[in-house]
């Protein structure tokens, strides 16, 4: 079953050779790296939206070292329990989580607005349908998805409601209150605890909260790993340059990651 939707006319896309095409004859070629670009120019607000090349490379290096593996394992375990067919990962980035999630479902679509991130992801797992696209118009068909996932990514609620099946689920992963607190203390004069519960309130009208586990991970980073972690977060450009430089002088730095997982069910 094909899940992709033409971003121009919203008709179903079908794959012939290496080209996705709709009945209106809009066509989208699969790039040599193995992804399709469905982020059409009329939906763009900048030339190169999303993460920078440096941020993507930093994230790939940091995540591949396994520091967030407890989160990936928890997400995969939950998906395995759910026994679903079709999964859409919104904001898939360079594919660290999507790659693992794909192995528990029949069909997996990973979508991200950053083309350079999707190019990296597409080399990781050829079984995922990798798409450059925007959450403002998710490039999948109405009522076709069993589970949408958004890990540290935007939550386009109306689009998620459109693409989910009637009994569909949404999994959100966001920082728990104490996530990377020591790093944030070093980077900012004033540190506020993360407020993950705001997402529950935002989604309450259309989604029922089923589960809300927290996953934690303690680790020590060397200087290069610490630089990669800073570079892959929004703190890289939000922190003052001198505070970032001072933190990056540390040859060893202990941190605690804390992840809030929310599993919602679409209300009927």
pLDDT digits (tens, 9 = 90+) for 4-52: 999 999 999 999 999 999 999 999 999 999 999 999 865 444 555 567 8
**pLDDT, tens digit (0-9, with 9 covering 90-100), for 106-118:** 999 999 999 999 9
Confirm whether 248 is domain-assigned. Answer: no
Predicted pLDDT at 53: 87
| 9 assigned to a ligand binding site | yes
Confirm whether 206 is domain-assigned. Answer: yes
Confirm whether 22 is domain-assigned. Answer: no
Confirm whether 5 is domain-assigned. Answer: no
| 43 assigned to a ligand binding site | no
Instruction: Output the domain CATH number for residue 131.
Output: 3.40.50.150
Give the whole-angstrom CA distance, residue 179 versus residue 256: 6
Confirm whether 99 is domain-assigned. Answer: yes
Instruction: Name the pTM for this structure.
Output: 0.94
| 91 assigned to a ligand binding site | no
Give the whole-angstrom CA distance, residue 35 versus residue 212: 33
Give the whole-angstrom CA distance, residue 214 versus residue 125: 28
- Do 36 and 110 contact (CB within 8 A), yes or no? no
> CA of 85: how far to CAs of 76, 105, 204, 257, 264, in Å?
14, 5, 25, 30, 17
With the C-alpha atoms ordered 185, 263, 214, 120, is the resulting torsion angle positive or negative?
negative
Predicted pLDDT at 50: 63
Predicted pLDDT at 236: 86
3-state SS, residue 65: coil
Confirm whether 141 is domain-assigned. Answer: yes
- Do 67 and 219 contact (CB within 8 A), yes or no? yes
Residue 144's domain comprises 34-178+191-218+256-266
| 68 assigned to a ligand binding site | yes
Mean pLDDT by 10 residues, the chain (268 residues): 93 96 97 95 54 90 97 98 97 97 98 96 97 95 98 97 97 97 96 94 98 97 97 90 96 98 97
Predicted pLDDT at 195: 95
Distance of CA 92 to the CA centre of its chain: 4
Predicted pLDDT at 51: 76
Confirm whether 2 is domain-assigned. Answer: no
| 148 assigned to a ligand binding site | no
Total domains, the chain: 1
| 197 assigned to a ligand binding site | no
């Amino acid at each position: 079953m094909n899940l992709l939707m033409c971003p121009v006319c919203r008709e179903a896309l079908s794959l012939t050779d290496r080209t996705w095409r709709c009945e209106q004859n809009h066509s989208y070629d699969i790039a040599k790296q193995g992804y399709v670009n469905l982020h059409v120019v009329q939906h763009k607000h900048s030339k190169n939206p999303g993460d920078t090349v440096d941020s993507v490379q930093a994230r790939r290096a940091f995540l591949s070292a396994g520091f967030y593996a407890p989160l990936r394992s928890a997400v995969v375990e939950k998906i395995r329990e759910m026994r679903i067919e079709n999964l859409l990962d919104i904001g898939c980035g360079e594919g660290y989580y999507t790659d693992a999630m794909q192995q528990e479902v029949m069909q997996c679509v990973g979508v991200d607005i950053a083309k350079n991130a999707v190019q990296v992801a597409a080399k990781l797992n050829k079984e995922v349908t990798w798409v450059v696209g925007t959450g403002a118009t998710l490039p999948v068909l109405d009522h076709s998805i069993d589970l949408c996932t958004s890990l540290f990514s935007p939550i386009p609620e109306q689009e998620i409601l459109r693409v989910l099946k009637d009994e569909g689920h949404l999994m959100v992963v966001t920082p728990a209150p104490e996530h990377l607190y020591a790093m944030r203390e070093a980077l900012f004069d004033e540190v506020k605890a993360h407020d993950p519960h705001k997402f529950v309130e935002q989604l309450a009208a259309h989604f029922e909260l089923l589960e809300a586990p927290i996953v934690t991970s303690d680790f020590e980073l060397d200087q290069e790993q610490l630089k990669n972690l800073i570079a892959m977060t929004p703190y890289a450009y939000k922190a003052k340059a001198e505070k970032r430089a001072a933190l990056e002088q540390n040859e060893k730095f202990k941190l605690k990651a804390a992840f809030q997982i929310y599993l919602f069910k679409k209300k009927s």
